[in-house]
Each structure stands twice: as structure tokens, then as C-alpha cells.
Structure 1
Amino acid sequence: MLAELFSPEQLAILSQIIFIDLVLAGDNAIIIGMVASKFPPDQRKKVIFWGIGGAVILRIILTLLTAYLLQITGLRLIGGLLLLYIVYKLYVDVIKGAEQEEDIKVDNSSFLKAIWTVLLADFTMSLDNVLGVAGAAGDHYGLLIFGLALSIVLMATAANLISGWIKKYKWIAWVGLFAILIVAVQLIYTDIRIIFNV
């Protein structure tokens, strides 16, 4: 069924996108949960709702912008190098299991300040996910939209479940790590070929 809908190349890209999302999308929802936990129960649901809503809009803008920017010669090289750094950070944090305490200062006196905290955290943590998915999708805009939608669904619903899976089944983290590494190498290689006319 899937083979009829997608070519082998598209299936490979789709699997890359899924594993990148699995490894990277969970952090954002955990941040939203941490910020929301500082508020009384009646305000908590509002913080989660508006935090995720704002994060979704931010993610859409970032994805469209990244997909456009990655078409510019030189920026793929920078994107690839940034992804290599993300691979290293993921290896240290996820594979080696280094305890990472998120240092997020939350002013729970103001609802708007909490939403702002969520958006700032999501902006800094969405870049790796968006860059990975946009790099993997390339010119396949349907797959890019799928990757964006999947990351939003994972962020909104399944973050704690996924982080539990990754801790229990290290192979998921390894596959995600290799998927990001492949995207990084492809981005760097594409730009080097263009720059040096190889």
C-alpha cells in the first residue's frame, strides 16, 4: 500500500523524517509541561493550550523559512554544520544518558510571561527539529508538510511517552541520530559540490 503511494526514495526520506521527529520533538512538550507545572491547576490547561498554539504557529513559520533558506548556496553548508553539532549534543545527552537539567526561570505571577517563556524555549529547541526535517525533505514539499504535522502532533500529545521509549529502547535514539547525521552530510556535500563545481 505504502509502496504504491511513495517511491523508494520518498519512503527513505519519510522514515528519516519520522525518526528525526521521534528523537527531537519530545523536548518541546516537556518544556511546556515544566512551565505549566508552576501554575495553579485552573491556569495550567490555558498555559498548555496557548503554549502549544503559539509553538505550532512558530514551527510553521520556521519550517517555511528554513525550506526557503536551504535553497540558497552556502546556507546548506551552515545548516549541515549546525546539524553535526546537534548530533554531537544528542549523543552526549541521549545516548550517553547525561542528566540534563533545563534551566528555565518561570515567573508564575503572569500568564503572558509564561506563554512568552514557552515560545522562547520552543524557538531555541524547534530549530534543530525544523532544520533536520527540512534538510531531509529537500524538494519534497508534501513530505515537509507531513514532517511538520508529525512534529506538532508528537509535541502536543506523545512527548512523555516518546521520551520513555528512547530511555528504554536506545536503538530508537541511535536511528534518529544516524538519520540526522545523514541529513547533515547530504547538506554539506550538496553545497561543497556547488561551491567547488565538483
Structure 2
Amino acid sequence: MDFSFAFTPDLIAVFVTLFVLEIVLGVDNVIFISILASKLPKEQQARARNLGLTLAMLIRVGLVFAAGWIISLTEPVVTLWGISFSWKDFILIAGGLFLVYKAVTEIHHKLEGAEEEHGEGAGGRKSVTFGSVIAQILLLDIVFSLDSVITAVGMTSNMVIIITVVVLSFGIMLFASRFIFAFVNAHPTVKMLALSFLLLIGVFLIAEGFHIKIDKAFIYGPMAFATFVEALNLTYSSRKAKREQKKQQS
């Protein structure tokens, strides 16, 4: 790995590309962490979010230093059904299945109205512990970090660039996580949309593990459009509520 650093057009282009990718993956991570942390008592939620993001950064940096080992994970270890699987593939499949399971479970709970009942047994809150939430966050941190680092190492061997991008994006996500957490939990439709995104990402990870190539544009394009439509709906609902409030006051 290369520890040298010099501003060149190519290096700047790589830096910007990696930074954008880290932010996109970071938002996915924050949404997942926010949904898991929301099940904890309020006094533990911020701690879980911050610890989850810190672990994500440390795992990414650690994997960067273990780049040689990371690259070895992409080597085929077994062939099944005519597909050569590597350890990376198995990790992506396991992570994708876990993400699909969590997203479907959370969507089911919301459709059943378990969260609205606020009963200790209704939504399963009593069985959720701080340790179990952190363990789940850690599992997805490893999956997201592995995919992120393999992509980064494939683009550049300059460790200064990769680590700088990871730390910078971590700082932004740590700052934004509180606002994303509050926004997602304040708007039920946004939370449902976020869960749908996580379900989609889980399916994408499984497909990638089975060497089914899906252009990420087909994943993030519809997600961006759905987010835009939801923003329009929220704006419409907010303005409609203000108009009705003015009518009542007059």
C-alpha cells in the first residue's frame, strides 16, 4: 500500500468518487442504525448511534490496513451450482439475508401496529438489549465495510486517500445521524420507505454474492426518485396542514 500523497487530477477524482460512495453507504448505515437504536430506551439511543458509527469507522480503517487479507477474500474457495464462491460472497449473502430479515420483520411490526401500542410486549421492546442492538449493528458494519473497502482498494492503493475519506465521511455521518434519526422516527411514511430501501439493498447484496450483476444505478436511481416523491408528499402534507390551521383560526 502507498502512504504518499500528492495533489494530482487523477487522485482528486478518486478522492471525490470514494467520498461520494462513502456518503451513500454511510446514509444506508445511519438509517439501519437509527431503526435499530429506536427500539432502545431514549437515554441509550444516542449512545447506540454514536457507538455504531464509531465501530463502522474503526472496522473500515482496520480493513484498509488489512488490504492484502481483504483481497484474498475475493479468491474462490468452493464451487456450487457452477458458481465459484469466495469468502466475500458468503459474507455478502449472509449480510443480505440478515438485512432482508430485519427489514421484513420491521415492516411487519409496523403493519401490525406493534410500535403504536407502546406495550412492552407488543413490539418486543422488552427483549431488546443494548448489547443485542450493538451486535446487529456490528454485523452490518462488517458487511458494508467489507464491500466499501474492496471497492476503495480496487480504485487506489493510496492509504492516505482511503483513510482520509473514511474519517471525513464518518465525521459528517456522526453529525447528521441525530437529524436523520429524528426525521425518520418523526415521519412514519419515511420510516417505511427507509425499510423498503434496506430490503432492496439486502436483495442486492444477496444477488452480488451469487455473482448476479446488477448495476447500482438500478438500485440507487429508483431510491433517489422515491425519496424525491416522498419529499413532495411531505411538503404537500405540511402546507395542507398549515392551510387548514389558518382556516380554523379565521
TM-score, normalized by the shorter chain, greater than 0.5: yes
Aligned to 2:143: 124
The alignment yields a C-alpha RMSD, in angstroms, of: 4.1
Aligned-partner Cα distance in 2 for 1:28–1:121: 8
Identity of aligned residues (%): 24
TM-score with structure 2 setting the length: 0.46
Contact 1:18 1:147 in 2 (8 A): yes
Aligned to 1:10: 11
Aligned-partner Cα distance in 1 for 2:62–2:137: 16
SS of the residue corresponding to residue 39 of structure 2 reads: coil
User: Is 2:68 aligned against 1:68?
Assistant: yes
The residue type paired with residue 29 of structure 2 is: N
Distance verdict in 2 for CA 1:70–1:34, change over 3 Å = closer
Aligned to 1:135: 154
Aligned to 1:170: none
Aligned-partner Cα distance in 1 for 2:145–2:130: 22
Aligned-partner Cα distance in 1 for 2:105–2:49: 16
CA deviation after TM superposition for structure 1 residue 71, in Å? 6.5
Aligned to 2:45: 44
Q: Where do 1:135-154 residues align within 5 Å?
A: 135-136=154-155, 138-154=156-172
Distance verdict in 2 for CA 1:59–1:121, change over 3 Å = same
Distance verdict in 2 for CA 1:62–1:33, change over 3 Å = same
Could you report, residue by residue, the CA deviation over 1:10-55 in whole angstroms, capped at 9, with x for unpaired residues?
1121122122223222111111111110112112122123222322
Distance verdict in 2 for CA 1:23–1:54, change over 3 Å = closer
Could you report, residue by residue, the CA deviation over 1:68-93 in whole angstroms, capped at 9, with x for unpaired residues?
24666x75xx99x97xx9xxx9xxxx
The residue type paired with residue 112 of structure 1 is: G
Contact 1:54 1:119 in 2 (8 A): yes
Aligned to 1:157: 175
TM-score with structure 1 setting the length: 0.56
Aligned-partner Cα distance in 2 for 1:112–1:70: 27
Aligned to 1:32: 33
Contact 1:60 1:148 in 2 (8 A): yes
Bigger RCO of structures 1 and 2 (CA < 8 A, at least 6 apart): 1
CA deviation after TM superposition for structure 1 residue 104, in Å? 6.4
Aligned to 1:113: 132
Structure 2: unaligned runs, 5 residues or longer: 1-5, 76-84, 97-101, 107-123, 182-189, 191-196, 198-215, 221-250
Structure 1: unaligned runs, 5 residues or longer: 90-100, 168-172, 178-198
Aligned-partner Cα distance in 2 for 1:63–1:36: 27
Query: How many positions carry a matched residue from both structures?
Result: 146
Contact 2:18 2:152 in 1 (8 A): yes
The structure with the largest alpha-carbon Rg is 2
Aligned-partner Cα distance in 1 for 2:141–2:26: 10
